[in-house]
Chains A and B, each alone.
Chain A
Amino acid sequence: MDFELMINSFPKLLNAAVVTLKLLSVSLIVGLFIGLLFAILRLNKNIFINKFAYGYSYVFRGTPLLVQIFIIYFGLGQIESLRSSFLWLILKEPYWCAIIAFALNTGAYTSEILRSAFQTIKPGIIEAGKSLGISNKIIFYKVQIPIAIRQSLPAYGNEIILMLKGTSLASTVTLMDLTGVAKYIISTTFKPIEVFIVAGGIYLFMTFIIHNLIKFLEKKYSY
């Protein structure tokens, strides 16, 4: 055991963990909006809209995240019209490509979580709202969404942890996140176990915090 290396690499890895957390939070926020949008589309009665939303979540859940990142980072640059448009300012940056891929991926899982949460809401609650003369829009915002959020918290907590692990793939498109820096230190020092313990410890610490945060929210919003 090379304790000196472990102590020396700790600040470097901690700095890299900030990159990981940035990637995670931005993609979760964007992904939540995408997820909500597609969950609503899934509940639409129009069969085309419905099937479109199902197709989206099926494709993104059925393929590895790595493929999705590679298509966006390496693949999209090939389209000539895209290269000359303003979108290229975003798509040439590996940082934004990674975020787009993560957001679309977590959006697909989130849409499934929210859809099942919407579907478990008892129709009686919505009927009660209607008979009180509340408009559909207000029922949706004030009744359905809060209940759906509470229902989906445990599953969403798992999704956040899966996404935290997913951000490690950013290192495959040259970003120096926690895994990227860990790999760099391993390949220069050839001390995989020491680096794994430190980097893995930081990941576990983040998982632990997220886990407890969700537990706290679950308690707060329980009814």
Chain B
Amino acid sequence: MELLAFGDTGWGDELFRATLMTIAVSITAMLIGFSFAAIFTPLKLSKFKFLNLIANIYTTVIRGVPELLVIYLFFFGGSGAIMFVASMFGYNEYIEINAFVTGSFAIGIISGAYSTEVFRGAIQSIDKGQFEAAKVLGFSKFKQFYKIVLPQMLRLAIPNLSNVWQITLKDTSLISVTGLVEIMRQSYIAAGSTRDPLFFYSFAAVLYLLLTFISMKLINKLEVKYSRGY
């Protein structure tokens, strides 16, 4: 137990901070994923075959390639890509982006592919009559989306989004390969310096279980809230 003490003698405070880091990366990645989904879901539902193709390539490639490979791509290629863009604007110094940004971006792109599929499914399962009724009532496209599509979509999407959240949360453990100090990395450091890997990795497993357990409870509450009236 003294291994988990707070302060200089134990690893308690380090692991606590690492847990907060895991939560921060997961939430950032989830939000980045939502913004990708906001771009690619309309493309998927668009009438133009070419736009469909772009969105399908995105979701198929990301869902068919291991997360770790995507993370390596961003880890090794991230600063190169940014420097390339910067050099077009005439900035030629070396740029290093930090592990938090690379990590949440890599996980965010992965999470976005799953979210896109969830939103597409949710919008497609809204009754066609709803769109027609909105048209008949003279709703603008914008109003139709905010007042009719969005509320129904959220209700249908929340159970599947909670799966995406679970996947995203677990995927953040892979960012540890880039050196970002989240739960996995901190456990690796602690295991190395105390020579007690069994204890620290098991403790990491408990932390992840706690995170998934608590987030499931919260999401269930959301689900109840959004299914009012059904």
Contact = CB atoms under 8 A, between A and B. Distances in A.
Interface in A57-114: 58-59, 62-68, 70-71, 74-79
B201 A200 contact: no
B198 A203 contact: no
A216 interface: no
Interface string B148-188: 00000000000000000010001101101100000010011
Given A74-B191, A204-B60, A165 B204 contact: no
Interface residues of B, number: 38
Interface stretch (A35-43, A122-130, A140-148, A166-174): A166-174
A168 B68 contact: yes
A179 B198 CA distance: 26
Interface in A161-210: 161, 164-169, 171-172, 179, 182-183, 186-187, 190, 192-193, 196, 199-200, 203-204, 207-208
A64 B208 CA distance: 8
A204 B59 CA distance: 12
Interface of A: 58-59, 62-68, 70-71, 74-79, 161, 164-169, 171-172, 179, 182-183, 186-187, 190, 192-193, 196, 199-200, 203-204, 207-208
Contacts of B208: 62-64, 67
Nearest to B183: A67
Interface string B66-108: 1111001100110010000000000000000000000000000
Interface string B185-218: 0011001000111110110110011001100000
Given A165-B67, A193-B73, A208-B64, 12 more contacts: A63-B170, A65-B170, A70-B184, A70-B204, A74-B201, A78-B195, A79-B198, A182-B72, A192-B72, A196-B72, A196-B73, A203-B64
A58 B166 CA distance: 12
Say what secondary structure dominates the interface of chain A. helix
A62 to B, nearest CB: 4
A62 B212 contact: yes
Given A75-B198, A182-B72, A200 B213 contact: no
A105 B31 CA distance: 28
A66 B212 CA distance: 16
Contacts of B166: 62
B184 A78 contact: no
B65 interface: yes
B201 A71 contact: yes
25 contacts: A58-B209, A59-B205, A62-B166, A63-B170, A63-B208, A64-B173, A67-B205, A67-B208, A70-B184, A70-B187, A70-B197, A71-B201, A77-B197, A78-B197, A78-B198, A172-B68, A179-B68, A192-B72, A200-B61, A200-B64, A200-B65, A203-B66, A203-B69, A204-B60, A207-B64
B4 to A, nearest CB: 16
Interface of B: 60-61, 63-69, 72-73, 76-77, 80, 166, 170-171, 173-174, 176-177, 184, 187-188, 191, 195-199, 201-202, 204-205, 208-209, 212-213
Contacts of B67: 165, 168
A207 B66 CA distance: 11
Q: Which of B67, B73, B196, B213 has the most CB of A within 10 A?
A: B73
A68 B68 contact: no
Given A62-B212, A74-B197, A75-B202, A187 B176 contact: no
Contacts of B171: 64
Contacts of B80: 190, 192
B72 A190 contact: no
Contacts of B170: 63-65
Contacts of A66: 173-174, 176, 184
